[in-house]
Each structure stands twice: as C-alpha cells, then as structure tokens.
C-alpha cells in the first residue's frame, strides 16, 4: 500500500508558527534582507483575499510573477485553496504584450495580477481590455489616469499595497469605474482582515486627519523578523 500522502501536522510537530518561506527584499536600503513569514501569516492573507476576490472553481488565474517576488504567492496558493485553475506564463511571455493578450483570450482568464508598468505595456500595445476580467494592480503607485483607462475595459480593478514584511498585500482599494467617479490619487485602500494600519508622527503618535505621517502596519500579517 502507498503511504498516506497527507500526514497529521501535529504528529510531525508542525505548528502555524513555523516558517512558510523566507524571501529577500531590499526595501529602501538596497541591502537584501530575508523576511521570515510564518504559516499563520500566509494563511490569514489567503483567507482574507479569498473573501475579497470570491474565487470559485470556475475562475482561471494567469500567473505571470517570478517566484522570487512574494506576490507570486497570491497567484499560486489562492487558486490552490479555492479550486481555481492556474495558467503559468513563462518569463518571456510575461514580458511580451502580444503574448499576454493571447494568453488572456485563449485561456479565458478571469483574474490577473500585475504592476502598473505591465498593465501599461498591454494597453500601449493596443489591448482594449477583457470584459469580466478582475484586475489586481500593485507593486508601485497606480496613476489615476491609468486607473481610469484600465477600469473601462475590464470587470473590476483593485489597487493593492503591502510590503514583503507584512505578507504580500496589506490593503485593498476597489476602483469605482462608474461615470462621474474619479480619483485624483488612487488610494491604497483599507486594511485586509486582522490587519491594522496607522499614520504616526515622529513620536509614534497618530497624526490628525489630512496631516502627513509614517505608515505603520500591525496584525496577523507581520513577519517574524529578518533572517
């Protein structure tokens, strides 16, 4: 007989505080730092985005992100948890607008995540959008004019934000594409489940409404620390 392929984690001594992965990020310093993310942080993230995106077994996710970039975790793990299909694009295809356009149409992609630069690459090459496509955008600031242009040709658009140290994405903003609704600056949105976001001054105190402050993130997504 074949051995059981799904052993009891407790019998192996595994807990939710064990590491899921270590991924290196330079942040603003330019010096690589290994962020240690635990299983409980990753699981919270996946549950949160399962609720936000409402993925089902009928969805098809186009994965274009290198696995050395933490946001690839959303493309690979979330469909695995929900029963959705993953279409893997190789590095060459992920950087070619015509090929991406073909993959979106050929595989009837319902969800894709990319940086504003990649979405701009597609639109500048003549892509007019894909009706019903759920678009996730993050990794850098999303210009308002690009958000308006992008949202007109797809089913929905979300702007996402989060550093590697707080497990992939920490906040989400739904871009409203209805006529008459515009955003001078596209916000990073509200924190996902079990996450808190604060704007604090140099003394660690909350700043008043409209004032400039430093962004602090707390909650279940915060990594263990640096390796």
Give residue-wise pLDDT tens across range 100-130: 999 999 999 999 999 999 999 999 999 999 9
User: Does the 45-218 domain belong in CATH 3.40.50.980?
Assistant: yes
Residue-range domain boundaries for the chain: 45-218
pLDDT reported for residue 31: 86
Encode 88-136 in three state secondary structure.
ECCHHHHCCHHHHHHHHHHCCCCEEEECHHHHHHHHHCCCCCCCCCEEE
Query: Taking the model in full, what pTM does it have?
Result: 0.90
The rounded percent of the chain whose pLDDT value lies above 70 is: 94
pLDDT reported for residue 118: 95
Check whether 202 has a pLDDT greater than 60: yes
Q: Which DSSP helix (H) or strand (E) runs through 219?
A: strand 214-219
């Amino acid at each position: 007989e074949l051995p059981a392929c799904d052993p009891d984690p407790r019998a192996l001594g595994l807990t939710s505080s064990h590491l899921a992965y270590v991924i290196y990020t330079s942040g603003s310093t330019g010096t690589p730092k290994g962020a240690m993310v635990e299983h409980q942080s990753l699981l919270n993230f996946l549950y949160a985005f399962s609720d936000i995106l409402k993925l089902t077994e009928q969805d098809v996710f186009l994965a274009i992100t290198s696995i050395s970039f933490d946001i690839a975790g959303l493309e690979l793990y979330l469909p695995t948890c929900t029963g959705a299909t993953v279409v893997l694009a190789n590095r060459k295809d992920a950087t070619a607008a015509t090929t991406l356009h073909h993959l979106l149409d050929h595989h009837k992609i319902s969800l894709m995540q990319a940086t504003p630069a990649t979405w701009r690459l597609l639109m500048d090459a003549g892509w007019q959008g894909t009706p019903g496509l759920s678009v996730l955008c993050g990794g850098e600031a999303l210009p308002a004019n690009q958000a308006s242009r992008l949202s007109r040709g797809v089913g929905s658009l979300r702007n996402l934000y989060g550093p590697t140290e707080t497990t992939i994405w920490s906040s989400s903003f739904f871009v409203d594409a209805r006529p008459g609704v515009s955003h001078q600056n596209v916000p990073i949105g509200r924190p996902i489940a079990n996450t808190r976001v604060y704007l604090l001054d140099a003394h660690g105190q909350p700043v008043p409404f409209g004032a400039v402050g430093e962004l602090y993130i707390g909650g279940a997504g915060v990594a263990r620390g640096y390796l």
